[in-house]
Amino acid sequence: MKQMQHMKTQDKIKVKNTIVEIDGDEMTRIMWKMVKEKLLLPYLDMDLDYYDLGLKYRDETNDKVTVDAANAIKKHGVGVKCATITPNKDRIKEYNLKEEWKSPNATLRAALDGTVFRAPILVKNILPGVRNWTKPIIIGRHAYGDVYKNQEIRVPGPGKGELVFTPSDGGQPIRCTIHEFKGPGILQGIHNTDKSIGSFAKACFTFALDQKVNLWFSTKDTISKTYDARFRQIFQNEYEKNWKTKFEKAGIEYFYTLIDDAVARIMKAEGGLLWAVKNYDGDVMSDMLGSAYGSLAMMTSVLVSPEGFFEYEAAHGTVQKHYYKYLKGEKTSSNPMALIFAWSGCLRKRGELDKTPEVVDFAKKLEDASLETIESGIMTGDLLRVATPSPKNKQVYTEEFVDAIAKNLQKKM
Ligand code: NAP
Ligand code: MG
């Protein structure tokens, strides 16, 4: 890699407090290093608390490093994470693992009790599938319970399907009949907790205020008069108790509507809002939005905890197929945009918390330099396929793309 001309340390922008840096796997690990060396380290004097979540080191430490990384975010408040492999049977063989370690993101989410927000990166020459979506629609997905933690029964024949709750204090069980089966069928039981819904609500209000965007929340409480209604109540109580005044001051609003009404309205909206949704709605709607906005590599993700800790990352994985090409010595046209925006998001947040406007300003310059690069027609293969008009230039390799951004960034410094 060509060495950048580094400024002297005393001339660099000082990031006041520590950032937790979480390294990862495969092609994103390669791009991570490139982004750091070419776009960040030449300009920033940062104190990075580094955790290597590359699969090899997770295995060596029996995954302790993931727990350490989560604790570091709790200590310092802001972290940035590269994509990581979630091991499966193939990976156990490939990396000769001691165990099938848990998904690092699941571990981090559980430790920080966080909610994941996903937002698209918009550029002028990639038109959204829905033409009025000119501003980002951010999805806040509740990542606990419902159908993702269910129990199901294949009902073999006639009989009674019941819902039973048995109190731990020895009190009377509560039961109700779900259905009197006359023949074969299916049964499902799902749950959620006030605590988890409350954390979700807090995280959504925190994020909407942080981004200064309206918050929409939608469920089906006209049909689900206890279950979905509880979500609505918890959001409403949280809003009135802790956020109403802050929202009014910031000039943003909290808006509840039915999920089907929200879907209809979203199609006509221009964006620039946070849409909070239950687990299943979030699973489905985030994929729809991701594809409508162009490419997986143009989707950022941030984990926000109810205590106000922030962890930024790309929404995509480690881009395994590109990595295998890279290992064979081939150059790839992998897109580092979401990784760059994970860094800029984390730097902006660090700067806001530290009250260092020069760091916030650098984050903006980094984003602008990246967006302008794509808008000038220099882009990776994934974007070239969806750009309008399709640029005359051919796709560039990752390193050429990062170099082009570095050149634009240099001009702004
Ligand atoms: P992926 O890394 O998201 O990539 C899937 C496909 O999407 C790629 O093959 C590529 O398509 C395209 N793509 C994604 N990111 C791209 C980028 N930055 N630039 C260009 N194209 C991009 O998913 P995967 O290959 O199925 O998963 C690989 C590993 O990632 C798995 O081990 C999984 O556990 C892990 N994962 C981690 C996270 C995380 O840490 N947050 C999230 C998801 C998955 P083409 O091949 O057509 O070019
Ligand atoms: Mg999905």
CATH number of the domain to which 275 belongs: 3.40.718.10
Find the helix or strand (DSSP H, E) in which 191 lies: none
pLDDT at 310: 94
The residue whose CA has the least distance to atom 30 of ligand 1 is: 317
Angle at 34 between CA 32 and CA 40, to 5 degrees: 85
Cα of 321 from ligand 1 centre, angstroms: 8
Distance from C-alpha of 367 to C-alpha of 340, rounded to nearest angstrom: 8
Q: What share of the chain is helix, strand, coil (3-state, %, to 5)?
A: 45, 20, 35
Residues 22 and 169 in one domain: no
- Asked whether 33 and 71 are in contact (CB, 8 A), the reply is no
Residues 301 and 289 in one domain: no
Among residues 272, 293, 314, which one ends one of the domains? 293
Cα of 107 from ligand 1 centre, angstroms: 20
- pLDDT tens digits for range 225-267: 999 999 999 999 999 999 999 999 999 999 999 999 999 999 9
The residue whose CA has the least distance to atom 33 of ligand 1 is: 85
Residue type, 278: K
Residues 79 and 167 in one domain: no
Distance from C-alpha of 398 to C-alpha of 379, rounded to nearest angstrom: 9
The residue whose CA has the least distance to atom 8 of ligand 1 is: 319
Cα of 382 from ligand 1 centre, angstroms: 12
- Asked whether 318 and 278 are in contact (CB, 8 A), the reply is no
Residues 202 and 224 in one domain: yes
Q: Which two tokens stand for residue 52?
A: 């290597």
If DSSP codes are grouped into helix, strand and coil, which group holds residue 101? coil
Among residues 234, 262, 293, which one ends one of the domains? 293
Q: Which of 316, 321, 380 to mutate to test the pocket of ligand 1 (most atoms within 8 A of CB)?
A: 316
pLDDT at 288: 87
Distance from C-alpha of 77 to C-alpha of 96, rounded to nearest angstrom: 34
Ligand nearest the Cα of residue 277 is 2
Ligand nearest the Cα of residue 315 is 1
Cα of 21 from ligand 1 centre, angstroms: 20
Q: Tell me which DSSP letter residue 329 carries.
A: T
Residues 34 and 9 in one domain: yes
Distances (CA, A) of 271 to 52, 71, 238: 36, 35, 24
DSSP assignment of 355-389: T-HHHHHHHHHHHHHHHHHHHTT---HHHHTT-SS
Residues 257 and 140 in one domain: yes
Q: Which two tokens stand for residue 395?
A: 């796709």
The residue whose CA has the least distance to atom 48 of ligand 1 is: 382
Residues 26 and 100 in one domain: yes
Residues 74 and 205 in one domain: no
Note down the domain range covering 171.
Answer: 151-189
- pLDDT tens digits for range 162-179: 999 999 999 999 999 999
Cα of 93 from ligand 1 centre, angstroms: 20
Angle at 180 between CA 179 and CA 186, to 5 degrees: 55
The residue whose CA has the least distance to atom 46 of ligand 1 is: 321
Distances (CA, A) of 398 to 73, 300, 339, 361: 30, 18, 12, 25
The residue whose CA has the least distance to atom 41 of ligand 1 is: 83
Ligand nearest the Cα of residue 395 is 1
Ligand nearest the Cα of residue 340 is 1
All residues with CB under 5 Å from ion ligand 2: 283, 287
Residues 401 and 307 in one domain: yes
Question: Do the strands 115-120 and 299-304 form a parallel or antiparallel pair, or are they unpaired?
Answer: antiparallel
Among residues 275, 293, 311, which one ends one of the domains? 293
Residues 33 and 162 in one domain: no
Cα of 215 from ligand 2 centre, angstroms: 21
Residues 140 and 183 in one domain: no
pLDDT at 1: 42
Which residues neighbour 199 within 8 Å (Cβ) at sequence distance 6 or greater? Answer: 113, 115, 305, 306
Number of domains composing the chain: 3
Residues 229 and 132 in one domain: yes
pLDDT at 286: 86
Cα of 286 from ligand 2 centre, angstroms: 7
**Ligand 1, pocket residues at CB < 6 Å:** 83-86, 105, 296-297, 313, 316-321, 334-335, 382
Residues of the chain with pLDDT under 50: 1-3
Ligand nearest the Cα of residue 94 is 1
